[in-house]
Amino acid sequence: MAGDLILITGGTGLVGIKVIQLALKAGYSVRAAVRSQAKADAVLATPTVKAINPGSRLTFVIVPDILADGAYDEAVKGVKYIIHVASAVIKGEGFPPEQWEAEIIQPAIRGTSSILEAAYKTKGIERIVITSSEVAIIPWEEFIAKEVDTVFDDKYEIPFPAGPYSHIFEAYAAGKVRALVHTKEFVKEKKPEWDVINIMPSFVVGDNEMITDPKLISDGTVSAAFAQVLGGDSGWGAVPSTSIHVADVARLHVEALNPKIEGNQSFLAVSEGERGTRWEEAIDIVNRNFPEAVKNGIFPNNGTASTKRTKVDSSRTEKVFGFKFHNYEEQVKSVAKQYLSLVGAPEA
């Protein structure tokens, strides 16, 4: 393992930067695919990477457009493993429903197929770990709206949901379903020398060293937990009761490279068991753990959040990988601590 070269895509995002850091700590050499030199510089500037001081064990390859033909053909050469976290940056606000197929679903498929096809043309690769999502195996209506008694686990499968779609996020979910189906079909038909493991996170919450502006702390899925702490609302309505600490997601990606874990399977990443996450509990968590910051108004802690019950069981993942996921309290605390650090306030 020590020194084996991993190509990591999407390394400047919430999950990806943690994957890079953990892979370096584990002794791997990392080639990070980034969109620009500025992104590479930002990775090198993170406190954890600076502390590791990886030297030649961390290199970069510029891939400005992950959807371009042959985007990863050069990047994969000479690597033993690939951790594919990247996804297309899609801004759904500007797309009317008739464009969701072309602008949201197809990019999700092309991003995954690009890495698979590049790896297929290259010798010496042993395993690809792909960031999928829980929405790839949970029907949209049951996930976001309908209360059902079904407990979804990583053996659950759904067919590709054909449109029309009622919401931009439903189209996003459809893209994740199709990308997962495409991956399984690719492996079945091509029979590559490598295998694939799909990691399926829920709503990822946790600190992000790529963020240096406290105003951006509630970026992406973190807002489901933290917007209320800063006095706002995520704007998502009732959020499914599924969350996971970013540190756990990153750990799964790196430890999935272990050959003792059988390939060509998928693992859910959801904490709190069947009870699920209660998003609104972040208010109490912050009150208990950061009373002075609340008293001083650093955390207004008076926003709103609500939870939609969705039952997901990822206990098999914890059993196979041999560690217990952080609970929601630890997720919220990690974001709060980073925010206090960014604004120059003490944690106590």
Q: Measure Cα distances from 55 to 39, 83, 229, 253 in Å.
A: 17, 20, 39, 22
Q: What is the identity of the amino acid at 317?
A: T
d(CA 230, CA 298): 8
For CA atoms 138, 139, 140, 144, give the dihedral sign. negative
The number of beta carbons lying within 10 Å of the beta carbon of residue 341 is 14
The number of beta carbons lying within 10 Å of the beta carbon of residue 22 is 18
> Which is nearest to 134 in space by CA: 300, 269, 11, 251?
269
d(CA 101, CA 219): 25
pLDDT (0 to 100) of residue 92: 46
pLDDT (0 to 100) of residue 235: 85
pLDDT (0 to 100) of residue 132: 96
pLDDT (0 to 100) of residue 88: 60
The pLDDT tens digits along the chain (348 residues) read 668 999 999 999 999 999 999 999 999 999 999 999 999 999 999 999 999 999 999 999 999 988 899 999 999 999 999 999 998 654 445 678 888 888 888 888 999 999 999 999 999 999 999 999 999 999 998 999 888 889 999 999 998 888 888 888 888 899 999 999 999 999 999 999 999 999 999 999 999 999 999 999 998 899 999 999 999 998 889 999 999 999 999 999 999 999 999 999 999 999 988 789 999 999 999 999 999 999 999 999 999 999 999 999 999 999 999 999 999 999 999 999 999 999 999 876
The number of beta carbons lying within 10 Å of the beta carbon of residue 156 is 17
List the Cα angle 310/12/248 in 5-degree steps.
40
> Which is nearest to 264 in space by CA: 191, 157, 159, 176?
191
Beta carbons of 88 and 58 less than 8 angstroms apart: no
What residues does each domain of the chain span? Answer: 5-206+245-274+312-326
Joined tokens for residue 167: 């919401």
- Surface-to-core class of residue 118, CB atoms within 10 Å of its CB (0-12 exposed, 13-18 middle, 19+ buried): buried
d(CA 60, CA 301): 40
Using left for φ > 0, alpha for ψ between -120 and 50, and beta otherwise, residue 273 falls in: left
d(CA 253, CA 16): 10
Kindly indicate whether the domain formed by 5-206+245-274+312-326 is annotated with CATH number 3.40.50.1000.
no
d(CA 24, CA 22): 5
Beta carbons of 69 and 142 less than 8 angstroms apart: no
Tell me the three-class secondary structure of the chain, residue by residue: CCCCEEEEECCCCHHHHHHHHHHHHCCCEEEEEECCHHHHHHHHCCHHHHHHCCHHHEEEEECCCCCCCCCCCCCCCCCCEEEECCCCCCCHHHCCHHHHHHHHHHHHHHHHHHHHHHHHCCCCCCEEEEECCHHHCCCHHHHHCCCCCCCECCCCCCCCCCCCCCCHHHHHHHHHHHHHHHHHHHHHHHCCCCEEEEEEECEEECCCCCCCCHHHCCCHHHHHHHCCCCCCCCCCCEEECCEEEHHHHHHHHHHCCCCCCCCCEEEEECCCHHHCCCHHHHHHHHHHHCHHHHHCCCCCCCCCCEEECCCECCHHHHHHHCCCCCCHHHHHHHHHHHHHHHCCCCCC
